[in-house]
Amino acid sequence: MNWSLLLIGVVTFLSTLLGGFVLLKFRHSLPYFFAFSAGSLMGVAFFDILPESLELANSVQLPIRMLMLVIVAAFFLYIILERFFLTHHHDDEHGSEEHGHILGPIGAGSLVVHSFLDGIAIGAAFHLSSSMGLIVALAVIFHDFTDGINTVTLMLKNKQKVGKTIGFLVMDAIAPVVGILVTFTVHISSVVLSLILAFFVGEFIYIGAANLLPETRHHPMGKILLSMFMGIVLIFLLTLFIA
């Protein structure tokens, strides 16, 4: 691995940590971070992950209907998961206070996997050319800042402890570095990667629309909409930068 890739790995790590610690510092504004994260997660789903999944599927002639089926299946899977764990959450109040809602670690863990795939994208782009690798890396670095915010948001929203939240934030920060390293040893097929990305689309739509936005309904609508709009626009601009 060359020194530029090593430096990029370090910067992606720091970018994710920065985003997460910014949110921890301003926890009193959590409802607006919920709205921002909802917008950015749905922006990531529609502007980043879905186009990439469709492009990969087209390259290997994977039926688009299969991707749509995976997206819908992921959406309904998370409805079932939340209803199941929410029922147990209310059945055992003491356990819920101590351990929090399981969707926090599930959502944050998915962001860790997404960050891992971001690292794979950086490494793969550098294998093609240094200039392409740098463009993708810069976009991922800026994007990782919002990933850090989203990871902490999902953990805190689901009543997870700060220590556990920081643990997931560190994993999210390390994930792109691991992804970069993996590109030098392992090949992930386009079919598998396309289906994984489609699954993330369904999951992130659900988390943004059904898990985060309801937490903002008792707060000023104007500020909530502005926060959500900022999350959407930021991801949209970053995906333009990638292109």
24 pLDDT above the threshold of 50: yes
133 pLDDT above the threshold of 70: no
pLDDT band at 28 (very low <50, low <70, confident <90, very high): confident
**70 vs 34: CA distance, rounded Å:** 26
The answer to whether the beta carbons of residues 194 and 71 sit under 8 Å apart is no
At residue 173, the pLDDT reads: 93
Our count of domains for the chain comes to: 1
Q: Look at 239 and 163; give whichever has higher pLDDT.
A: 163
Task: Say whether pTM exceeds 0.95.
Answer: no
Give the mean model confidence (pLDDT) for residues 79-91: 59
At residue 136, the pLDDT reads: 65
Angle between helices 162-182 and 130-157 (to 10 degrees): 160
At residue 85, the pLDDT reads: 55
- Domain of residue 147 covers 3-242
Ranking 17-26, 74-83, 135-144 by mean pLDDT, the lowest is: 135-144
Q: Look at 238 and 92; give whichever has higher pLDDT.
A: 238
Angle between helices 190-206 and 64-91 (to 10 degrees): 40
Print the SS3 string covering the chain: CCHHHHHHHHHHHHHHHHHHHHHHHCHHHHHHHHHHHHHHHHHHHHHHHHHHHHHHHHHCCCCHHHHHHHHHHHHHHHHHHHHHHHHHHHHCHHHHHHHCCCHHHHHHHHHHHHHHHHHHHHHHHHHHCHHHHHHHHHHHHHHHHHHHHHHHHHHHHCCCCHHHHHHHHHHHHHHHHHHHHHCCCCCCCHHHHHHHHHHHHHHHHHHHHHHHHHHHCCCCHHHHHHHHHHHHHHHHHHHHHHC
Q: What is the pLDDT of residues 104-120, one digit of tens each?
A: 888 888 888 878 888 88
pLDDT band at 135 (very low <50, low <70, confident <90, very high): low
Ranking 2-6, 26-30, 94-98 by mean pLDDT, the lowest is: 94-98
At residue 243, the pLDDT reads: 55
230 pLDDT above the threshold of 60: yes
